[in-house]
Amino acid sequence: KLRAEHVPLQHITGTQEFMGLEFDVSPQVLIPRQDTEVLVEEALKVCDGKRVLDMCTGSGCIIVSIAKLGTPIKTVGVDISTKALEIAVRNAEKNEVEIEFIKSDLFEKVEGNYDIIVSNPPYIPTKEIEGLMPEVKKHEPILALDGSKDGLYFYRSIVASLNNYLQRGGTILFEIGCDQGEAVSGILRHAGFIDILIKKDLNGLDRVVTARRP
* Residues at the contact surface with ligand GLN, assessed by CB under 6 A: 30, 33, 35, 120-124, 136, 145
> How far apart are alpha carbons 61 and 31 in whole angstroms?
9
Minimum CB separation of residue 147 from ligand GLN in Å reads 6
Considering beta carbons, is residue 148 or 167 the nearer one to ligand GLN?
A: 148
* Residues in the chain, overall count: 214
Considering beta carbons, is residue 127 or 168 the nearer one to ligand GLN?
A: 127
Q: Give backbone dihedrals phi and psi of 213, rounded to 5 degrees, phi first.
A: -80, 130
Minimum CB separation of residue 145 from ligand GLN in Å reads 5
Considering beta carbons, is residue 95 or 120 the nearer one to ligand GLN?
A: 120
Residue nearest to ligand GLN (CB): 123
Minimum CB separation of residue 40 from ligand GLN in Å reads 14
- Cβ–Cβ contacts within 10 Å for residue 74, how many? 16
Containing 158, the helix (H) or strand (E) segment is helix 153-165
Considering beta carbons, is residue 74 or 143 the nearer one to ligand GLN?
A: 143
110: left (phi over 0), alpha (psi -120 to 50) or beta: beta
